[in-house]
Structure 1
């Protein structure tokens, strides 16, 4: 089968899937979909994290060989988008500590144990924004209170507003963000295995938020 035939077959399958997913949305709308970074166009209101389109990953130095990466699979977040855009809006995030996934089952148990996250006593990690400082168009530094094991420390993230548009499939107002930052795990009392495992935690976030219907 030629490359062009394979490509054509793939495109037909993709378009069929789109039509089956949403009869109100044409394939052309999906393929030509775009978003706007104009913050003034975003409807004011309450937005909820779309759990199917979000990732929160952490990486940490491992014996100087590499940055070992892990993720949290269950999280919730609420975004209150106010007039004034990023400068005036706030976000609160709750992460299920027991949902950590290192891709190594025995290590999962160790990280969840009393020597690290102690998820039986401290089931949640929480971040609540406190201040935003603009560094450019559609971007800035977001500072907030991060709580791990009942210890709260200020953490700052570099945040980019990727854009807004009604989702072409669901028709719901949707916002997209990227965030990146660092913090010291020792400041939260998590110094286990240091220095074999580094102190600097690098966090990366990709998130989509969907507008909550009025009255919900």
Structure 2
């Protein structure tokens, strides 16, 4: 997935959870941001280095693994008010297309499912490079982000503030910092 076709990149890669962050950012009380991440996920990328448009990505995130460093908030986010993890234990993304949009930039379009609602989204990714780690693993790095409206996925709970506005922003920024290991 570099500027020129690179057959060395062709292969199946799995996300390395120890070096990958699937995160999010939302405004809280209109004055600050709350950041969090999901700690339990699996992902696979099938990359065609000669023809990136033939590449694909799948990601499965366990909703219960949400972590904002606040147990009470995490419990509320797991509840029916937000992710309803009892009925919808997974958040998924399955690509439907990949398009090179710049030298090391790629738009990955796919179906994002949250709380049982599926919508098509496009995540712009930047290819950060390839390296062989000290253990002999071939790794690639990718970074991407997009902003969604949580209401589009049935995540509508909120509370009005005395000063105007709401406790939780409707928009949520999803962030992907990926380290993936090539499978032999």
Does the pair score TM above 0.5? Answer: yes
Distance in 2, Cα, partners of 1:67 & 1:86: 35
2:111 aligns with one of 123, 145, 156: 145
Cα distance per residue 1:82-124 (max 9 Å; x no partner) = 2434322111000010000111111111111122111111111
The structure with more helix, counted as a fraction of residues: 1
User: Judging changes above 3 Å, is the alpha-carbon distance between structure 1 residues 49 and 38 closer, same or farther for their aligned structure 2 residues?
Assistant: farther
The residue number in structure 1 matching 2:163 is none
The residue number in structure 1 matching 2:30 is 64
The SS at the match of 2:73 is helix
Deviation at 1:38, TM superposition (A): 5.6
| 1:122 and 2:88 aligned | yes
| 1:154 and 2:120 aligned | yes
| 1:106 and 2:77 aligned | no
User: Judging changes above 3 Å, is the alpha-carbon distance between structure 1 residues 92 and 77 closer, same or farther for their aligned structure 2 residues?
Assistant: same
Distance in 2, Cα, partners of 1:137 & 1:58: 26
Paired residues in the alignment total: 177
The residue number in structure 2 matching 1:86 is 52
Cα distance per residue 1:120-175 (max 9 Å; x no partner) = 111110001112232210102221100011110112211001111322x1112211
Distance in 1, Cα, partners of 2:11 & 2:107: 22
Q: Assess if the C-alpha contact under 8 Å between 1:156 and 1:182 holds in 2.
A: no
Q: Assess if the C-alpha contact under 8 Å between 2:137 and 2:181 holds in 1.
A: yes
Q: TM-score, normalised by structure 2?
A: 0.89
| 1:203 and 2:174 aligned | yes
1:188 aligns with one of 124, 147, 153: 153
Instruction: Structure 2: give runs of 5+ residues left out of the alignment.
Output: 160-165
Distance in 1, Cα, partners of 2:135 & 2:145: 28
The SS at the match of 1:84 is coil
Deviation at 1:196, TM superposition (A): 2.0
Q: Which has the larger radius of gyration?
A: 1
The structure with more strand, counted as a fraction of residues: 2
Distance in 1, Cα, partners of 2:5 & 2:104: 8
Instruction: Structure 1: give runs of 5+ residues left out of the alignment.
Output: 1-35
Alpha-carbon RMSD across the aligned residues, in angstroms, is: 1.7
2:19 aligns with one of 53, 69, 77: 53
Distance in 2, Cα, partners of 1:38 & 1:110: 47
The SS at the match of 2:17 is strand
The SS at the match of 1:76 is strand
